[in-house]
Amino acid sequence: MQQGSSPINEIVGALDENSTLMVTSNKVSADFCEKLSKKCEEKNIKIKYLSSDPIEDLSQNAFTNVELTRVSDKIASLSPEEKFKYFAEKLTDKQILLVTVPTDFAYLTNLRNYDFPYSSAPRAKAVVTKNSVTLFTDSKIPYEFEGLSVEPLEKFKNVLAQFVGKEILTDKSTISQADFMQIHPSNKVRSTNLFDVKSEKFDSEIEYLKSAFARTDRVLRKMNDLINSDAELSEYDLFCSINQFFKEEGALTQSFKPIIASGANSSIIHYSVASPDKIIKDGDLVMIDCGGFFEGGLATDITRTFVKGTPSDEQKYVYTRVFKGAVAALAHKFDDKATWQQVDLLVRRELEDEEKNGYLYSHSTGHGIGISVHEFPPRCSFQDEFALPFKKNYVFSVEPGLYKKGVGGVRLENAVYAKSVAPNLEIEVLSHYPFEEKLINREMLTKKELEFLEEWQNYGKTNNLCD
């Protein structure tokens, strides 16, 4: 799908009239299902909701009695009890807050679980009232306070019967259809974005993230050394190595399955299977998109494109164009009216003319980063719905890229946060790994871009991130 196209239109367009569409109700949001249902009516398509995923069919017991880890209050800034009070104060006696999204539960409780790859959020739920909070989990909660109770996860499906007639606060864009269907028809449902507060990081979380990204930068240093060694390596060899390097730097798990794409495979934006048969050869671009979860339970995310051996003139040209796109946002001085849309447009203006050369920029410029590696808000996209103002300490990525099918691609992703500097806003970088010097054509750079490059690369040299 190209940027701006609709998943719902694509799904329904691929179906015959009078057919039946099966939907895994525990993995699709209520809001998505509502819109999907309306579109299906146009072709008389019936929807059948499934209570489990017939493809994965993972047993719920897999999440029973897992060990939950508490993020220190020094990093989280607020204790679980203080967070409960924050949300409880937003409620009236006739309202309850339904917490069904793992990342929201993780934020509310300061709890994490690292037993399963590429996630830090426990599979658990919660109900918050004016005076109490009930956690639904099959794991032991490592603290207690007044008003807190803990129940088995299985009891959640019946709990809402206790609140008939109350107003339910939830976010229809994130609550699953399965959980939404548990709400009694007598309950009034009000959509809330209360948990958007988790995007506005505390200063203590920003300081922690600086450390986490420094460790992620060191992982890339090790990967670069490996790529440029004399060893014959496949994509899969690099995939195994990056797993080990994250462990060496103290990661408890990775924040997503790393992308290791070489040669023509680097043109695939979300290349998913590192091949043991794809050997890295001289002249190959190698795109690495990776991140980790460390002790603070917040994700890191970075992308760099390397080259083994000597690059071609075309590779240098494309890499330099993407670098210029990154600098357009990273070095920009924003005013107090800045929006996430503006970030995307600054980058896109640098890259969109490359379509004439067969290179496409077919994704948004950035996404929020938090307990999940993709956290909304914010999102940096050209669409008008993302013309939303900056907020202090929102962490997000700036990741321009150009891709040519069958040839290769370049993506350069850096994590930043919005830092208030009166009277202007400024974005400050969290990830500092150097750019690939031999892929940069300095003759294509303006004076401002050259100054930016020198300062960036010198930081890498000072901190032993490059030769």
Nearest to 396 by CA among 341, 438, 356, 314: 341
pLDDT(61) > 50: no
Residue 462 has what pLDDT? 86
With contact defined as beta carbons under 8 Å apart, do 396 and 388 qualify? no
User: Could you read off the pLDDT of 311-338 as tens digits, one per residue?
Assistant: 999 999 999 999 999 999 999 988 878 8
The CB-based long-range contact list for 181-184 (8 Å cut-off, 24+ gap) reads: 181/25, 181/49, 182/156, 182/157, 183/98, 184/160
Tell me which of 274-278, 295-299, 423-427 is least confident. Answer: 423-427
With contact defined as beta carbons under 8 Å apart, do 122 and 139 qualify? yes
Residue 464 has what pLDDT? 76
Q: How confident is the model at residue 29 (pLDDT cuts 50, 70, 90)?
A: very high
Q: Which residues pair with 339 in a beta bridge?
A: 389
Q: How confident is the model at residue 422 (pLDDT cuts 50, 70, 90)?
A: low
Nearest to 165 by CA among 86, 233, 263, 93: 93
What's the whole-number mean pLDDT along residues 182-190? 87
Residue predicted with more confidence, 163 or 201: 201
CA 57 and chain centroid, separation = 25
pLDDT(58) > 60: no
User: Could you read off the pLDDT of 395-414 as tens digits, one per residue?
Assistant: 999 999 999 999 999 999 99
What's the whole-number mean pLDDT along residues 60-65? 54
* Residue keyed to tokens 């640098």: 350
For residue 207, the tally of other CB atoms under 10 A from its CB is: 13
User: Could you read off the pLDDT of 370-399 as tens digits, one per residue?
Assistant: 999 999 888 999 988 889 888 889 999 999
Query: Which residues does 410 contact at the CB level (< 8 Å), separation at least 6?
Result: 266, 285, 287, 305, 315, 318, 319, 322, 401, 402, 403, 439
Q: Which residues pair with 380 in a beta bridge?
A: 366
Residue 3 has what pLDDT? 63
Residue 59 has what pLDDT? 46
Nearest to 285 by CA among 413, 432, 436: 436
What's the whole-number mean pLDDT along residues 154-164? 86
Residue 182 has what pLDDT? 87
User: Could you read off the pLDDT of 432-441 as tens digits, one per residue?
Assistant: 999 999 999 9
Tell me which of 72-86, 160-174, 213-227 is least confident. Answer: 160-174
Count of residues in the chain: 467
Q: How confident is the model at residue 16 (pLDDT cuts 50, 70, 90)?
A: very high
Residue 424 has what pLDDT? 74
Tell me which of 24-28, 100-104, 418-422, 453-457 is least confident. Answer: 418-422
With contact defined as beta carbons under 8 Å apart, do 106 and 298 qualify? no
User: Could you read off the pLDDT of 66-98 as tens digits, one per residue?
Assistant: 789 999 999 999 999 999 999 999 999 999 999
Residue 67 has what pLDDT? 83
pLDDT(450) > 60: yes
